[in-house]
Amino acid sequence: MSENSSAIQSVLHETRTFPPSEEFSKHAIISSEEQYEQMWNRAKDDPAGFWGDIAQTELDWFKMYDSVMDGKMPNTKWFTGGKINVSYNCLDRHLTTWRKNKAAIIWEGETGEVRTFTYQQLHHEVCKFASVLDKLGVEAGDRVTLYMPMIPELAIAMLACARVGATHSIIFGGFSADAIADRNHDAQSKLVITADGGWRRGKEVPLKVNVDASMEKSPSVEKVIVVRRTGGDVNMQDGRDYWWHDLMEDAVADRECTHLDSEHPLFILYTSGSTGKPKGVLHTTAGYLLGTTMTSRWVFDLKAEDTYWCTADIGWITGHSYIVYGPLSNGATTMMYEGAPNWPDEGRFWEMIERHKVNIFYTAPTAIRAFIKWGDQWPEQHDLSSLRLLGTVGEPINPEAWMWYHKMIGAERCPIVDTWWQTETGGIMISPLPGVTATKPGSCTKPLPGVVPAIVTEKGEPLGPNEGGLLVMTQPWPHMLRTLYGDHERFVETYFAKFDGKYYFAGDGARKDEDGYYWVMGRVDDVLNVSGHRLSTMEIESALVSHESVAEAAVVGFPHDLKGEGICCFVIPKGEVASGDAAVAAQKELIAHVRNQIGAIATPDQIRFTSALPKTRSGKIMRRLLRDIAAGRESAGDTTTLEDYSVLAKLRDTDE
């Protein structure tokens, strides 16, 4: 947390409101304020009754649970005694309905090919791959790493892991070999599933080479399965590496679902925290499934006839919950796209919406800012009239970007759901309900049923309307994380210690306005939000300091037109501070080094060399001042505790 943030000032005061049309409300799954309030109040006053009723009607169980919720935050359990399987709920149960021959996944490769899987076909592939997992000795409870491009085999692998009870750990393709090794090691993964590469902006992004490079530091990994996607050269190691297509050739498709406990670990997903190594957020089976099923239905008003497209990468939580598990559990049609939004040109997304007649479109503010920059001529060339609902996720959306989305993509007709949630929350927490909520640009509006947030001071005291403070959750919910893999102490410390176990602390600052609408103002810890992805300043600092030439480093964010936040690194070299060509060469080297250590997503935007960093008398780096310098603002804050005033002036003069 920054030095001076007990009071968070809000400067945004947006007054426009956009109620849903009568027509939309009439057909919506949740269609009136009364219905919402009744659900919300019931869930608040009687969470076990509320979630229990839905769990019985909306999920298929092998054995009904004994109790809905046990324990208190931080240690809650849901649906104990129950036996269930996520793969069954996403696939098998649809096969006895008219949905069996309906598209489950429509996939488009960057190179233009389209593959469609009906529920029956997807079930077939998943059963086959589940039997491959059996054959390779993967058992319920084992961890499996997936490091794959956005291809159907990724969804198939996830659902097959869920089928046999293996806990998947998906690593986004933008991470480096070192990051894979760290995660393999932390999870003690037994198997890695990857591909030769994937296509992105017309180029092959190699994946298998990174897996190869991670192997030396991944002693737990016994086998690697490789999907052939690009046809690029790969090195296959005998006895360790297998081609997906070879294994699938003689696999049989009769693999039934393992009956798993409600709290069986479904997946680990690593995310950045403010200190130390990435955190392995653990989600379990029944609660997560229930949360993603219901939030998909409520927030996206998801119906069987919809073609729904979430543009996230499955390497992030959004893809887990809202490309794969939530939509498939609902029997919806989910689109999946492999590549870049500007390939072969900046009209790609709009062309795809027109081609597939997409009805619901869910993307990120960082993408919307890019669309705005590329120009209106791209969406204008396409018929977007199939759209009926738009969504955003990942960071606060600024009202002007919201208005552009509303006018240019939604033709002032489609409700926009600005969904606030986190890797840890598993599913959407605060969001408009499209048939109910009058939206305000920039606000994620109101909590969903089952979500009881509050805005509090550092001491946990409640704040009044429009007073900025810390966003907390005062009640547990079924789809919340259960622990940080292998480090329960850190889990308690990170999310619950601040308020003595009473609240879940989200790490975000927010205010609630006089209408009860939430306005999230961003992270209050040392976590950057770069293009909607959380990056720890601490991890980037460690990567920099691991370079032989660096003595000390401090990383801060600064406002960036497209990415939301850019990465600015202040670096104290071990020798003299270089200048001119030598400085440029050193900057390049450090940028490459960080990419190598963490991956392309953490590429620094600025490296500034300095001979000292501003510190308090107790030796803490004054990040607030560095943020001002990185943003080009004069520092107006209190500097009386600064150890060396001259440091500030020197930093301001450093090259970018």
Site residues, ligand PRX (CB under 6 A)? 271, 317-318, 393-396, 418-423, 444, 506-508, 520, 522-523, 529, 533-534
Cα separation, 183 vs 185, whole angstroms: 5
Q: Which lies closer to ligand PRX via its Cβ, residue 170 or residue 224?
A: 170
| CB of residue 382 to ligand PRX, shortest distance in Å | 26
Q: 3-state DSSP call for residue 452? A: coil
Helical ranges in 343-471 per DSSP H = 348-356, 365-374, 377-380, 399-404
- β pairing state of 527-530 and 114-118: unpaired
User: What's the chain's length in residues?
Assistant: 656
Q: Which lies closer to ligand PRX via its Cβ, residue 251 or residue 470?
A: 470
Q: Which lies closer to ligand PRX via its Cβ, residue 227 or residue 428?
A: 428
Q: Which lies closer to ligand PRX via its Cβ, residue 366 or residue 610?
A: 366
Residue of 120, 92, 117 lying closest to 105 (CA atoms): 117
| CB of residue 131 to ligand PRX, shortest distance in Å | 33
- Concatenating the DSSP letter of every residue in 40-109 gives HHHHHH-HHHHHHHHHHHHS--SB--SEEEES-TTS-EEEET-EE-HHHHHTGGGTTSGGGGSEEEEEE-
| CB of residue 110 to ligand PRX, shortest distance in Å | 23
| CB of residue 507 to ligand PRX, shortest distance in Å | 6
| CB of residue 420 to ligand PRX, shortest distance in Å | 4
Cα separation, 442 vs 16, whole angstroms: 10
| CB of residue 375 to ligand PRX, shortest distance in Å | 25
Residue of 321, 284, 271 lying closest to 299 (CA atoms): 321
| CB of residue 455 to ligand PRX, shortest distance in Å | 14
Q: 3-state DSSP call for residue 34? A: helix
| CB of residue 654 to ligand PRX, shortest distance in Å | 29
| CB of residue 17 to ligand PRX, shortest distance in Å | 18
* Sign of the alpha-carbon torsion through 63, 67, 70, 76: positive
Task: For residue 591, give both structure tokens.
Answer: 């940028």
Q: Which lies closer to ligand PRX via its Cβ, residue 421 or residue 517?
A: 421
Cα separation, 158 vs 153, whole angstroms: 9
Q: Give Cα 143 to chain centroid, integer Å.
A: 20
| CB of residue 322 to ligand PRX, shortest distance in Å | 9
Q: Which lies closer to ligand PRX via its Cβ, residue 212 or residue 395?
A: 395
Residue of 510, 364, 484, 491 lying closest to 430 (CA atoms): 510
Q: Which lies closer to ligand PRX via its Cβ, residue 221 or residue 510?
A: 510
| CB of residue 166 to ligand PRX, shortest distance in Å | 23
Phi-psi category of residue 250: left, alpha or beta, with phi > 0 → left and psi -120 to 50 → alpha: alpha
Q: Which lies closer to ligand PRX via its Cβ, residue 333 or residue 366?
A: 366
Q: Which lies closer to ligand PRX via its Cβ, residue 92 or residue 301?
A: 301
The DSSP letter of residue 324 is: I
| CB of residue 431 to ligand PRX, shortest distance in Å | 8
Cα separation, 615 vs 642, whole angstroms: 6
| CB of residue 317 to ligand PRX, shortest distance in Å | 5
Structural contact between residues 382 and 413, judged by C-beta atoms closer than 8 angstroms: no
Structural contact between residues 212 and 178, judged by C-beta atoms closer than 8 angstroms: no
Q: Which lies closer to ligand PRX via its Cβ, residue 131 or residue 422?
A: 422
Residue of 175, 178, 230 lying closest to 200 (CA atoms): 230
Q: Which lies closer to ligand PRX via its Cβ, residue 241 or residue 565?
A: 565
Place of tokens 């970007």: 401
| CB of residue 283 to ligand PRX, shortest distance in Å | 12
Q: Which lies closer to ligand PRX via its Cβ, residue 458 or residue 655?
A: 458
| CB of residue 298 to ligand PRX, shortest distance in Å | 16
The DSSP letter of residue 11 is: -
- β pairing state of 143-147 and 167-170: parallel
| CB of residue 593 to ligand PRX, shortest distance in Å | 24
Residue of 536, 611, 533, 627 lying closest to 572 (CA atoms): 611
Cα separation, 37 vs 18, whole angstroms: 19
Q: Which lies closer to ligand PRX via its Cβ, residue 317 or residue 594?
A: 317
- Residue 147, classified by CB atoms within 10 Å of its CB into exposed (0-12), middle (13-18) or buried (19+), is buried
Q: Which lies closer to ligand PRX via its Cβ, residue 420 or residue 609?
A: 420
Phi-psi category of residue 418: left, alpha or beta, with phi > 0 → left and psi -120 to 50 → alpha: beta
Distance, first Cα to last Cα, the chain? 26
Q: Dmax of the chain from CA atoms?
A: 74
Q: 3-state DSSP call for residue 503? A: coil
Q: Which lies closer to ligand PRX via its Cβ, residue 151 or residue 430?
A: 430
Residue 18: strand pairing partners: 439
| CB of residue 437 to ligand PRX, shortest distance in Å | 14
Residue of 285, 304, 292, 320 lying closest to 61 (CA atoms): 285
Q: Which lies closer to ligand PRX via its Cβ, residue 165 or residue 391?
A: 391
Cα separation, 42 vs 135, whole angstroms: 47
- Comparing every residue's Cβ against ligand PRX, the nearest one is 423
Q: Which lies closer to ligand PRX via its Cβ, residue 396 or residue 447?
A: 396
Place of tokens 């009607």: 57
Residue of 120, 139, 117, 121 lying closest to 130 (CA atoms): 139
